[in-house]
Amino acid sequence: MGLAVLLSTTAMAASFSVNPVRVDLAAERPYTVMQIINSADMPITLQARAYRWTESDMAKGGGLVSTDAIILNPPLLTVLPHSIRYLRLGLRTANTGTTELPYRLVLQEVPKAVDDKEGAVLRTIVRMTIPIFAVAKSATAPKPEWSLQQTGLGKYKLSLANKGTAHIHVTTLDISPAGKTEALKKLNAPIYVLPGQSYSWDVEGMEFNGQTHLKLTGTTDAGNLEETLQATYSTAAATPN
């Protein structure tokens, strides 16, 4: 019986991509057009929604708050198989302030009704989020501040605080003991850190035990990164060897 169910089950999943994968809306040009490309053999219907983005860490929900600050046209669209459709988006009001305003565009598949003749069907609902930045009229820039805290034997917390007025996008990040040329750890990236926000990485490895300085290398949209940080110690941290 179980085998029969498995054989009659069909896996169905849509596949689409977008261009661009990040949107910058300036006061001088507060609108753009996005391509939505359907590479699947079936049509896909997508619901477009805009959200104010208030928290860097998307893994924690990203602090997405519904907003009407972004105009979407059309908010609901169907893309035929192996076809392209266009989504127009823009700011309702240009950002005339002194700090970049971050948003997220969420594109989510609207599931279609399943024909009973198809039998048991497993569907994967596709969802994609795209960052949108409303560029301030005045000049803005990120101001990254890195810190390192040892929390135990071979355990560290690496933190990045953005004290600037624009986001910073960390695309790669490696860490190694100071003086070493080979990276021992590759940390999860890419990561956006919004103005006034912070992000932390947990770094674990006995190869770091006793190290008071760690070297960071990586790439960001503000330029290449190369820094050596001295670890501070939390009250719970073990004394280095």
d(CA 171, CA 192): 9
6 close to 118: Cβ distance less than 8 angstroms:
no
Structural domains in the chain plus CATH codes = 10-134 (2.60.40.10), 144-233 (2.60.40.10)
Residue 9: predicted pLDDT? 33
201 close to 187: Cβ distance less than 8 angstroms:
yes
pLDDT in tens, the chain (241 residues): 233 333 333 344 568 999 999 999 998 899 999 999 999 999 999 999 999 999 888 766 668 999 999 999 999 999 999 999 999 999 999 999 999 999 999 999 998 766 555 555 556 678 899 999 999 999 899 999 999 998 888 888 999 999 999 999 999 999 888 877 666 788 888 899 999 999 999 988 777 777 788 899 999 998 999 999 998 876 555 444 4
Residue 103: predicted pLDDT? 97
**What residues are paired with 199 via a beta bridge?**
160
Q: Would you report the helix, strand and coil content of the chain in percent, each value rounded to 5?
A: 5, 55, 40
DSSP letter at 58 equals: G
Residue 2: predicted pLDDT? 32
Residue 36: predicted pLDDT? 96
